[in-house]
Amino acid sequence: MASETSPLSNAEIADRLAGLAQLLSTQKENPYKIKAYQRAAAKIRTLPESVEELVHQDSDLTVYAGIGEAISQAVQEIVRTGTLGKLERLRSNAAPEIAGLSNYPRLDPKRVLRAYQKLGIASVDELRKKLESGELEQTLGSRVAQHVRQGVTEAHAMLLYRAHELREAVEHFLLDTCKARKAEAVGDYRRRVDTIEELAFIVETDDFSSLLERMEHYGGRTPLVASTRTSATFSLSSGVRLRIDRASKENWGLSLIKRTGSEAHLRKLTAATGGWDIVRKAGPFASEPDLYTKFHLSFIEPELREGYDEVERAQLGTLPMLVTVKNIRGELHAHSTSSDGSHSIEQMAIAARDFGYEYIGITDHSQSLKIARGVPIEELGKQIRFIDNLNSRLTGIRVLKSAEVDILDDGALDYPDELLKELDYTVCSVHSRFSLGKPEQTERILRAMDNRYFNILGHATGRLLLKRPGYELDMDRIIHHAKQNGCFFEINSSPARLDLSAENARLAREAGVKIAISTDAHSTREFGTVRYGIDQARRAGLEAASVLNCLQWPSLEPLFRR
């Protein structure tokens, strides 16, 4: 029973739980149970403590979110025996094609089996070849190809919102266990890039090499990949790299600047300052403002340090005042129990008021979207009258009459004009036929924008970060058309969407098209995710003046009348 020579890392424990979820999904198992194992595996990958040690110390694992009694038992079994009886039983009874997937716990067996059948193959190796030759995508489409690509390559990226938790855990570990005097996240994370492949820190310490030694015990075992006297890279269980650079107290500001900006940004910055040698001689710089002031630059917010025009504008003193969460006055994209939301219109309204909002638009799905219980015409008529009545009863919040209207295949909107004109505004979205070619998909959206009741284009490209690329669009044409027709975009704050991307939001801003920062909330608990949308809006250089829902309703209303 005693622990063996080499302890199980958190990654190995998580792999077994994920493998169990994979095999359960081929049985007629409760999908919630499968999700629970997947969630627990993801949680364990981010934990700083060694789960094996926790088990040996008889610690209560259920204190961690996502680990209940059953999963705690499973983890204890893995630590004691190296595996799970249930996993081994399922694996030995599984068909060889399925058992062969166990090294790739993120592959969905059902999709893979379908691909095997269609392509007449029976192994992951062959599947990989079909992926590389493009045959997989041709035969089964881009979504399946994307799924397989992710499943067979090692995870090396995570969503920004998942990285927040990891950042916090690593930071505490650096300070408490590795005895760093100071530790601060830099790089892509600090710039709020939507997906992170590397989590980077700068640290202040007298003994960098013993700090690195201690770091190797993070999450049970975290391999050191490369190191120098002042810099090291680790491979974290969660799949991303961890980079740690040593910095001094006197030059903390200089190190922050060097390790935060993108390469393009740093090239422009060195051109403006005359190069790092000159900067170093002018130093030291304990803080970033010290350095910027010395070189007659205004402070450049981290989210802007991408190498567009921010350095020139810092010289001219014309940087934007970036939008913040405090500027947001209301929500323009939210669902209720009328379609696929979890809370009633009234509950959503009260929650929005408690959140500090002045208004909330209820945008339930339209009639054709059966999968999300789209609202039939008569029901929407009733909902409009219900909201009028609700507004006369409620104080401190205005409920806006709206809908998330499907853009149909031919670009028509999914409700008749007589009904649309009863609404305060619309969010119009594509939820079908993602596989249309770029010209057709672009035309479809342009035609929808020709309807005078089209106001905001919902989640413009339909992307799901790390899962599926969006459909291809000619964004220049769509932005131009939106400008001409008085249409708007949204940044969908759902952390897996963040769609518009920061790049497209920047283009829209430059064209003078206003953008809503929306959460697409499906429950009263989701308004807080607006901060992810704000992150991307700031990356796009948006000021409050470019954001629709920074306006009070009386100023917003006329913008929706075309």
Residues that bind Zn ion (CB under 5 A): 404, 429, 520
C-beta closer to Zn ion: residue 266 or 352:
352
294 phi and psi angles, rounded to 5 deg: -55, -35
C-beta closer to Zn ion: residue 322 or 428:
428
C-beta closer to Zn ion: residue 50 or 366:
366
Residue type at position 84: L
| Alpha carbon distance 276, 254 (integer Å) | 10
Name the minimum Å distance from CB 366 to Zn ion: 10
Q: Which residue, among 212, 357, 190, 308, has the nearest Cα to 258 in the 3D structure?
A: 190
Name the minimum Å distance from CB 318 to Zn ion: 36
Residue type at position 553: W
Q: How far is CA 26 from CA 29, 33, 106, 110, 183, in A?
A: 8, 13, 13, 7, 45
State the DSSP code for 7: P
Name the minimum Å distance from CB 430 to Zn ion: 8
The conformational region for residue 365 under phi > 0 = left, psi -120 to 50 = alpha, else beta, is beta
Name the minimum Å distance from CB 365 to Zn ion: 7
Which residues lie below 8 Å from residue 189, measured CB to CB, with a gap of 6+?
Answer: 160, 163, 167, 196, 199, 200
C-beta closer to Zn ion: residue 282 or 464:
464
Structure tokens at 49: 């403590």
Q: Which residue, among 518, 442, 456, has the nearest Cα to 486 in the 3D structure?
A: 456
Name the minimum Å distance from CB 383 to Zn ion: 16
Name the minimum Å distance from CB 25 to Zn ion: 26
Name the minimum Å distance from CB 389 to Zn ion: 24
C-beta closer to Zn ion: residue 310 or 404:
404
C-beta closer to Zn ion: residue 243 or 431:
431
C-beta closer to Zn ion: residue 188 or 364:
364
At 218 the three-state DSSP class reads coil
C-beta closer to Zn ion: residue 429 or 442:
429
Name the minimum Å distance from CB 533 to Zn ion: 13
| Alpha carbon distance 467, 476 (integer Å) | 25
Sign of CA dihedral 473, 474, 479, 485: negative
